[in-house]
Amino acid sequence: MAQSAIELKGIDKSFGAVRANRDINLEIAPGTIHGIIGENGAGKSTLMSILYGFYQADRGEIFVNGQKTDIDSPNDAIAAGIGMVHQHFMLVHNFTVLENIILGAEGSSLLNTGIARARSELHRLEEEYSLDVDPDAIVEQLPVGLQQRVEILKALYRGAEILILDEPTGVLTPAEADHLFRILRKLKDEGKTIVLITHKLREIMAVTDNVSVMRQGTMVATRKTAATTVEELAELMVGRRVLLRVEKGEASPSGVKLSVKNLSVRDSRGVTMVDNVSFDVRAGEIVGIAGVAGNGQSELIEAIAGTRRAETGTVLLDGAPIDVAGSADPGELRARGLAHVPEDRHHVGLVLPFEENENSILGYHGMDFYLNGPFLNIEAIRSDARDKIEKYDIRPADCRLKTANFSGGNQQKIVLAREMEKDPGVLVVGQPTRGVDVGAIEFIHKQLIAMRDQGKAVLLISVELDEIRSLSDRILVMFDGRVVGERGPDATEGELGLLMAGVEAQEAAE
């Protein structure tokens, strides 16, 4: 085989105590499309950011076309012929396409010559790769698919021979994605090397020549795409982790507590994140929503809990509607018995500079129990906090300590204690054990089961498939904003993995 376009040897990178990449070795052959697949947080983006010089590796070497290359900044990467299309586009929104393309590669200190050259060069690139886009259009007025094309042109204009694309289809419609793949094949035919980062198996199978799988910061395998199957990749991606079996009896669900009908939600960019989703959660059951992060689960629970406005749809709580597309207010929903453990405890669920006892009333601070007229009833708040500390074994057992000084697991227990102890009818839980130590995970899982057994309706989202499988009585899988399948708790990892990766149910059954 010819010399590798890129070779990484022993790349290591830590952020604080988190090791994002461990001893990564990777070879990418020239003139191929090489996929890198893995769950969110597996370390794919970090690895590519190192290759593009945005971060520096703690250890390890990078070879480009056989030459050992030090990449200390994006400049070095550009000089080595590496271009990158970021997941969040690095475009200046109010610039024209042309201005965006020449930014950083203007040629001379006056723009006119650079602009003129860029215009003709752009014309050539358009012809060559059928990447047509109006050079004088303002970027923010272009649809996302075309904005992405500008990013690709930006890299090509700088003479990139190796093009990295980070989750490029995340914001695209299926038609746009297909168009992108045609462009990628064309680029490959012209001799470019493409690195495609994604968590979608369908894409890997559709366009790549080789595929590498990352899991928890390590590179677990590299395969020829033609010689592998989606099942093998799904298994490699998810891994055969020891399932934390939680002891639980049969669920005995009764009436519907929470009913979601035709709910659609857009994010701040206007991209539809939740697309016409319907399901019910009954009293006494845990409904888990599985999915790779970014497929609409977050927006779904935020809309249900009233912290994000929905576009359309209906949500019924105990049969009474919640105005999810209008004035739904988290405070009001709490009063109606809907408790919410948010995904992001650092910025949403807790106020880190607050004392523990202050956080133990967040959202419930208007209850008469905690107040004396307009004043906070400090005695009641603190004794209540101490009770919860004891019941939930929160350590250190000091309700006056700043919340930032608790470990992740104990912070999460603070949130859970607060949301569970008010006897809600419905509990919406996001990522209950993210960044939580093993001991606390078990405790939190037991609490969630206990809630179920008390007859509460629990809606759980988690990117940890284990967690979904061990806790849920029913599993819904979300992909691209839609619920693509429902399975029982006995569904296999492979089966769920395929659904999560967007392989249609029928295909998976074959």
Alpha helices per DSSP H over 306-459: 330-335, 356-359, 378-391, 408-420, 438-453
Minimum Å gap between C-beta 140 and another protein is: 10
Binding to another protein by residue 100, rule CB under 8 A?
A: yes
Number of residues in contact with another protein under rule CB under 8 A: 71
Stretch that binds another protein, among 210-218, 288-296, 337-345, 487-495 (CB under 8 A): 337-345
Q: Does 407 bind another protein (CB under 8 A)?
A: yes
d(CA 220, CA 216): 9
Given candidates 31, 239, 337, 435, which one binds another protein under the rule CB under 8 A? 435
> CB neighbours (10 Å) of residue 478?
24
- Smaller CB separation from another protein, 307 or 314: 307
HSE-CB at 258 with a 13 A cutoff on CA atoms is 30
By the rule CB under 8 A, 116 interacts with another protein: no
Closer residue to another protein in complex, CB, 350/501? 350
Alpha-carbon distances, residue 254 vs 180, 257, 300, 424, 495 (angstroms): 48, 9, 24, 16, 28
Which residues in the 478-497 window bind another protein by CB under 8 A?
A: none
Contact set for another protein, span 230-289 (CB under 8 A): none
The answer to whether 94 contacts another protein (rule: CB under 8 A) is yes
Q: Is 44 helix (H, G, I), strand (E, B) or coil?
A: helix
| Site map 301..320 versus another protein, x via CB under 8 A | -----xx-------------
Nearer to another protein, 82 or 281 (CB): 82
Give whichever of 95 and 279 is closer to another protein, judged by the CB atom.
Answer: 95
**Residue with Cβ nearer another protein (99 or 464):** 99
Backbone angles phi and psi of 219, in degrees to 5: -95, 115
Q: Look-up: residue for tokens 């300590």?
A: 401
Closest distance of CB 371 from another protein, Å: 6
How many angstroms separate the CA atoms of 134 and 378, rounded? 63
Q: Which is nearer to another protein, 186 or 382 (CB)?
A: 382
Residues 23-62 that bind another protein (CB under 8 A): 52, 54
What Å distances lie between residue 406 and 24, 311, 398, 443, 462, CA to CA? Answer: 33, 37, 10, 16, 22
Taking the C-alpha atoms of residue 500 and residue 448, their distance in angstroms, rounded to an integer, is 24
Query: In a 10 Å sphere around its CB, with 0-12 CB exposed, 13-18 middle and 19+ buried, how is residue 63 labelled?
Result: middle
Asked if 119 interacts with another protein (CB under 8 A), we say no
Q: Which of 3, 18, 130, 336 binds another protein (CB under 8 A)?
A: 18
* Subset of 368-397 contacting another protein (CB under 8 A): 371, 374-376, 378
For residue 68 the two structure tokens come to 């050992």
Chosen residue from 197, 238, 322, 350 binding another protein by CB under 8 A: 350
